[in-house]
Each structure stands twice: as C-alpha cells, then as structure tokens.
Amino acid sequence: MVSGLPIALSMVVAWTAVGEAVPLSHHDDYIHAYEAADAANRMLLIACVPDTHGPLARRWKKWVRSPKVRSALQGRYELALLSTTAPVPGGAEEWENESVPLLEHPGFAHLHGEPGIIIIDLTKRNPKTYDKVVFLYPFRGRYHLTRKLLLEALDLPTGTLTQRMLTFAVRVHEDDPVSADSRTLPLLADAAESHSQYQADIRRQGHHHWERRFQELLSELPGDALPYEVCAESWPGETLIEAAHECVHSWRQSSGHWSRVAARTHYFAYDMKRGDNGIWYGTGILAIGREEDF
C-alpha cells in the first residue's frame, strides 16, 4: 500500500449514455477502491476534486463517457471519484490507525494540494512500481489535465513516477517528438535512472563517464542499435511536473539534443531525479539503429 495506505468495496451509481452496454463505475471510498484494483490486478485511477458533484467532477464524468477514454480505461483501470478531503489511511507508522485528508497524504505530495488525478500501480507486473504512485497531474494551473492529455497518461508504459512523468512530457510536447513512441527497455531504464541520480548527487548536469557507459550499453543492446544520451536540468525549486516539461523545453532549445529526442528510436527510457539543491536532473537514453544515425 502506498506509504502505508491500506485497502477494501463500494460504488457510487454509475452514469452512462444511452446505448452504452458496459458502464464504468467509480468507487466513492479510497480503501474500497484500492482493494478492488489490487484484486483485479489493475491500475487505480483516482479523480480528486473539491466537490464530487461540482464542476470538476462533472467535467471528469464527461471525459470518462467519451468513447476513446472509455476504451483506454476499460479492463485496465479501477476508478475512484473522491473529494480532496476524503479520508485515506495515514502514510507513516505513527499514523497507522489514523486517517488524513487525501491531498495531505505524503504519497500524493507532488500534486501540491491541487485537485487532479492520481494513478497507483496495482498490476503486480513490476515489483519496483507495485503499490506506488506512478502518475499524477492537476486539473488546474499552468500545466493542467485535458481530455487529450488524459489519453496520453492512460497509455504510458510501465515505469516509476519520474520515468512516466518525463516520458509524458516528451510525448505531449507541441512539436510532437517521437522518441518515446517506441518500446521501453529495462536496460535503458536502469541506465537513465542511474545517471539521473548521479547528476542529482553531484548537483551537476552532464554526460559524465559516457564513454564507459556507451560501451556497456552497446554490448547489451539487441540488434544493431546504438545508444545515445540527452541530459537536462530544471530551474531551482520547480515541482516534478514543472521540471519534466522544463527538461523537454531545454532539449527543444538544443538542435543536437532535439534531433535525438524528436527522432524515431528502437528503444527508449527517460528518468529524472531531484538534487538537494532543488534542481531536477533529467536523462534520456535512446537506442537508434545504425542505419538511422546522422
């Protein structure tokens, strides 16, 4: 359970347009929603709104009724519609038997108190991400969710929160880069995570020790793929969501970096880590075919 969040089943009455054969229902209780998602081996998608009968909730319901969103959700996601103050189990040992308002739980801190969506991976496909928050995005603000962005979020590959957030930022960039449209590879995901953490640890962006890492990756990549690396950093004090978009913006300003981020790949991985200086450091490891190199 996410930082001590437990689990359990209850549903609000589903809404459905005339002619829809299989309605999508929302749980109205966190514990029940968690238990149902865990039992069904699904992602748990929480829409967190100020008022479950208010404007944001109505907008959310309209999105969920749309055919494309329904198709992306069905069979893969368990849904919950909860208020920002809905009780959830505390996220620390001393709070084990206590509840806290949803947006005050430390596991959801990257929403910074704003209503939005939260996705928790309960699919058991990846021990590294099971029971973890793997995506969140606000309904309001400079970067805010739309139905189009929701569809992108629902189709992200398996990965950690930071991996999926930076992948999402690449995929939704207005200039439509395609490096993140191919397959992820654990080899590259581990490399992107490791180098992002290294940059964060030393608090300095760069392709440190790339010659050695290039040879290691080259020896393990399938086929004739060549590894390439792009790095970026955020402004100090940016949130995770802001920093992800800022890293992609930085790559867009560099023709060399953007030529890799924008190009088709055989495999890809993106990740980002925050240094104790308040700066996020992003890394993309991209495998491009030799015949496509330029």
66-114, pLDDT tens digit by residue? 999 999 999 999 999 999 999 998 765 544 568 899 999 999 999 999 9
Q: Which CATH number is 205's domain given? A: 3.40.33.10
Instruction: Report the distance separating Cα 59 and Cα 255, nearest Å.
Output: 39
Whether residue 68 is found in the same domain as residue 147: yes
Statement to judge: residues 139 and 187 lie in one domain: no
| Of 232 and 223, the one with more pLDDT | 232
Q: What is the torsion angle, in degrees rounded to the nearest 10, for the CA atoms of residue 61, residue 63, residue 69 and residue 74?
A: 0
Identify whether 164 is part of a domain.
no
Residues 132 and 8 in one domain: yes
190 shares its domain with 144? no
Taking 80 as the threshold, does the pLDDT of residue 118 lie above it? yes
* CATH assignment at residue 39: 3.40.30
pLDDT at 98: 82
- In a shared domain, residues 133 and 264: no
> What is the model's pLDDT at position 15?
37
Structural domain total, the chain: 2
Are 61 and 135 found together in one domain? yes
Could you tell me if 79 and 183 lie in one domain? no
Whether 35 is in a domain gets the answer yes
Residue 16: what pLDDT? 36
Domain extent at residue 234: 179-292
Confidence of residue 19 (pLDDT cuts 50, 70, 90): very low
Statement to judge: residues 59 and 20 lie in one domain = yes
pLDDT value for 8: 36
Do 141 and 41 fall into the same domain?
Answer: yes
What's the rounded Cα separation, in Å, for the pair 46 and 116? Answer: 8
Residue 171 lies in a domain: no
CA angle 111, 112, 115 (to 5 degrees): 55
Report pLDDT for 149: 98
